[in-house]
């Protein structure tokens, strides 16, 4: 536990470092903390803070900088978060109205980036697997067949099949009737598993057609790999801590491209209650060792379906970024719930 004097000096040091990006010396701490302390006393307190792993001394300076542990103590115990001004909340809400879900997700990502000046990220809602209302095969040429899938929502997906042999109109009607009779009303995952079980029992002349239909239908229902939308990555090029370390920047951008590792982190925040902050190595992802990730879950009809977040340097103004993430998650929840019920 830190006494009140040490807490005050640590808070002042972190605030000065976030504002200026320069190591903070004892003279500056004495000036900005408002405490009537001698420089020697300040140096003694700074030595204690350093021994506790809360601050560190760069080799090139007599000043001190916060460590990840120091930032964590600051966020958990010293930070005062002010709510956003009503004008800013109204501006965010105005960007999250009267749009389709995908556009709302993109708008939220851009808003997070624009307001924080870092990278904004939104995990997309887990895709609901649609139920199939109708399946049809249409012959286009001797060895080209059009597969038509109609979902219960009225969405129509078309895929070209090249089954390797020609089929007569009567064979296509037989295949269409077979699928519509036995499998309509289920989602495509259900249809796929059942048809695969019965492929061996089907007449040999229909096996290749059904196998091609399964592959094409699976692709149509899966959709693109778009588990999250990220905006403002280029903002990180302007961050001094990153711009001077191109190796770290490349690792960070590779992480954005890989998606899988970052999705695991977003899944953790998906299950959290309210705003969650990963500082430095807390994320478990090496490219984020010098980053902080501030996230919050969002809902549709009271059910958590995804999360929003900001990725930036550990030297960020947490008191400014936290309410941005929090209110964006809440307003996105309201907008998506309204859209889902309208």
Return the ∠ at Cα 282 (arms to 23 and 6), rounded to 5°: 45
Q: pLDDT band at residue 202, thresholds of 50, 70 and 90?
A: low
What is the 8-class DSSP label of residue 85?
P
User: Where do the structural domains in the chain lie, given as residue ranges?
Assistant: 4-78, 86-126+227-341, 132-222
What are the residue ranges of helices labelled H in 223-297?
240-243, 246-258, 260-270
Mean pLDDT score, 55-80: 91
Lowest mean pLDDT among 84-88, 126-130, 236-240, 246-250: 126-130
Lookup result for tokens 């976030």: 18
Task: Kindly write down the DSSP assignment for every residue of 229-243, as one continuous string.
Answer: EEE-GGGGGG-HHHH
Q: Which CATH number fits domain 86-126+227-341: 3.10.110.10, 3.40.1170.20, 3.30.450.40, 3.40.190.10?
A: 3.30.450.40
Q: Checking phi first, is residue 238 left (phi over 0); if not, alpha (psi -120 to 50) or beta?
A: alpha
- Tell me the sheet residues that pair with 24: 64
Three-state SS for 315? coil
CB-based contact 69:55 (threshold 8 Å): no
Alpha-carbon span 137 to 126, nearest angstrom: 30
Element (H, E) at 299: strand 291-300
Alpha-carbon span 124 to 25, nearest angstrom: 45
Most confidently predicted of 20-24, 163-167, 225-229, 254-258: 20-24
Q: Is the confidence at residue 39, as pLDDT, over 90?
A: no
Lookup result for tokens 């009271």: 302
Terminal-residue alpha carbon distance, the chain: 52
> What's the confidence (pLDDT) of residue 108?
95
Percent of the chain predicted with pLDDT > 70:
88
Quick: pLDDT tens for 154-184: 778 888 888 878 888 888 888 888 878 877 7
Mean pLDDT score, 91-117: 89
Q: Are strands 144-151 and 132-141 parallel, antiparallel or unpaired?
A: antiparallel
Q: Is the confidence at residue 225, as pLDDT, over 60?
A: no
What is the 8-class DSSP label of residue 64?
B
pTM, to two decimals: 0.73
What is the 8-class DSSP label of residue 116?
H
Q: Which of the two residues, 342 and 29, has the higher pLDDT score?
A: 29
Confirm or reject CATH 3.40.50.10860 for domain 4-78, answering yes or no. no
Three-state SS for 62? coil
Percent of the chain predicted with pLDDT > 90:
44
Three-state SS for 303? strand
CATH code assigned to 132-222:
3.30.390.60
């Amino acid at each position: 536990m830190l006494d009140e004097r040490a807490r005050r000096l640590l808070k002042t040091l972190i605030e000065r470092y976030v504002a200026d990006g320069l190591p903070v010396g004892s003279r500056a701490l004495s000036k900005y903390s408002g405490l009537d302390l001698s420089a020697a006393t300040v140096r003694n307190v700074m030595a204690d803070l350093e021994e506790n792993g809360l601050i560190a001394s760069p080799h090139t300076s007599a000043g001190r900088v916060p460590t990840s542990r120091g930032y964590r103590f600051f966020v958990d115990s010293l930070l005062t978060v002010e709510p956003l001004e009503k004008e800013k909340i109204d501006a965010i809400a105005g960007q999250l109205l009267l749009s389709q879900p995908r556009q709302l997700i993109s708008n939220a990502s851009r808003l997070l980036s624009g307001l924080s000046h870092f990278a904004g990220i939104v995990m997309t809602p887990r895709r609901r697997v649609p139920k199939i209302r109708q399946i049809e095969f249409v012959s286009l040429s001797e060895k080209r067949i059009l597969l038509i899938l109609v979902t219960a929502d009225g969405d129509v997906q078309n895929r070209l099949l090249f089954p390797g042999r020609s089929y007569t109109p009567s064979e296509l009607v037989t295949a269409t009737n077979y699928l519509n009779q036995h499998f309509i009303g289920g989602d495509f995952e259900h249809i796929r598993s059942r048809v695969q079980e019965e492929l061996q029992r089907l007449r040999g002349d229909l096996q290749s057609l059904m196998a091609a239909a399964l592959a094409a239908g699976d692709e149509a229902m899966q959709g693109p790999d778009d588990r999250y939308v990220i905006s403002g990555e280029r903002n990180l090029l302007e961050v001094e801590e990153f711009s001077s370390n191109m190796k770290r920047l490349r690792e960070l951008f590779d992480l954005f491209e890989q998606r899988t590792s970052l999705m695991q982190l977003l899944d953790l925040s998906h299950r959290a209650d309210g705003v969650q902050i990963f500082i430095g190595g807390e994320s478990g992802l090496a490219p984020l060792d010098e980053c902080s990730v501030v996230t919050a879950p969002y809902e549709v009809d009271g059910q958590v379906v995804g999360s929003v977040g900001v990725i930036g340097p550990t030297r960020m103004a947490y008191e400014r970024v936290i309410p941005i993430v929090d209110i964006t998650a809440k307003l996105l929840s309201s907008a998506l719930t309204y859209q889902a019920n309208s």
